[in-house]
Amino acid sequence: MGSGESFGIAGKWKGVLSYWFLQWVLLCLALVLLVSLGGGMTLDGAVAVSIAATVWAGLISFGQLAFVLDADKVGGAREVGRLRRGISRLAASLLATLLCLHIWWLIIGLGFEAAGVYGDPFTVILLGGTGICFVGGLVGWSMVFWGFLAKGRREERYALLAKRLLLGTGVCAGCCLALGFFGVLIGGDADVLVAVLAYCIPAVGGGAIAMLGCVLYLTRLARARAPWYETHCAACGYDLSGNLTVTQCSECGSAWKGGLEVIRGA
Ligand SMILES: [Zn+2]
């Protein structure tokens, strides 16, 4: 292990690969459950489920990589990579936006289903509203996350954001379930709930599994990297080990208390 990796997680790849494998197994099981709900499982169905689960797991892993990109590549040389930062924030905003859109689609779909209206007004409101909600959500969530992530240690902030997004998937699942039960009430047909579940589980369940992986990874990363902050500015990454008595970072001017803790411990 090189000196640059001393603030990383020991056994990182073993942990990541184990989680990815577990993630794939969980997704396979979820799909089997969904297919069984839809009516029976055949051998051909099992093959199709495996392929679908693999694609699904690939997409989730891609999202996880994007989410941790900004926090992952710091430590020995903590430069701010604008591209990495943008990708991570976009991944977080996309997940939050998709969760909100799910509830929107359900409300509109069930509303029109209850009113018995199909065709033009349904399509126009669904697509138009979806477009507006998507752009608005992406911009809105990006602004919220931008301010939230700018404070403090990067991996800690991302870990906290992942925890909140995990909570968000729980809230979204609760809303979808409530809407499903509401649909059964107004439609008088239990199949509505099955349809709502089949519609929600892939995105909401996938989002939860994705964020759980990020929480586990980033929490360990934050713990492993804590010693690095004793000699480096959390805001800009400047190495302050030359003079640990300063109260402000000599590079960016941020308040700095790490050095005091080091001196007291000496
Ligand atoms: Zn600084």
DSSP 244: T
Q: What is the pLDDT of residue 92?
A: 96
Per 3-state DSSP, the chain is made up of helix, strand and coil in percentages (nearest 5) of 80, 0, 20
Residue 228 scores a pLDDT above 80: yes
Residue 263 scores a pLDDT above 60: no
| Rounded distance from Cα 80 to ligand 1 centre (Å) | 12
Burial per residue of 186-212, b for 16 or more beta-carbon CB atoms within 10 angstroms, e otherwise: eeeeeebbbbbbebbbbbbbbbbbbbb
Q: How confident is the model at residue 261 (pLDDT cuts 50, 70, 90)?
A: very low
Q: How confident is the model at residue 41 (pLDDT cuts 50, 70, 90)?
A: low
Return the C-alpha torsion angle 251, 253, 255, 260, nearest 10. Answer: 40
Cα–Cα distance between 211 and 63 in angstroms, integer?
9
Cα–Cα distance between 253 and 168 in angstroms, integer?
35
Which one has a higher pLDDT value, 225 or 259? Answer: 225
Q: Is 11 exposed, middle or buried (0-12, 13-18, 19+ CB in 10 A)?
A: exposed
| Rounded distance from Cα 241 to ligand 1 centre (Å) | 12
* Amino acid, single-letter form, for residue 219: T
Query: CB neighbours (10 Å) of residue 148?
Result: 16
- The angle formed by the CA atoms of residues 215, 216 and 217, to the nearest 5 degrees, is 95
What residues are neighbours of ligand 1 (ion), with CB under 5 Å? 233, 235-236, 238, 249, 251-252, 254
Residue 64 scores a pLDDT above 50: yes
| Rounded distance from Cα 63 to ligand 1 centre (Å) | 30
Tokens of 185: 């009430």
CA distances from 97 to 20, 51, 134 (A): 24, 27, 6
Half-sphere exposure at residue 264, Cβ-oriented, CA atoms within 13 angstroms: 6
Rounded average pLDDT over 232-255: 83
| Rounded distance from Cα 247 to ligand 1 centre (Å) | 11
Residue 118 scores a pLDDT above 50: yes
pLDDT in tens, 122-139: 788 888 989 999 999 999
| Rounded distance from Cα 256 to ligand 1 centre (Å) | 8
Cα–Cα distance between 242 and 219 in angstroms, integer?
29
Backbone φ and ψ of 240, nearest 5°: -105, 15
Q: How confident is the model at residue 265 (pLDDT cuts 50, 70, 90)?
A: very low
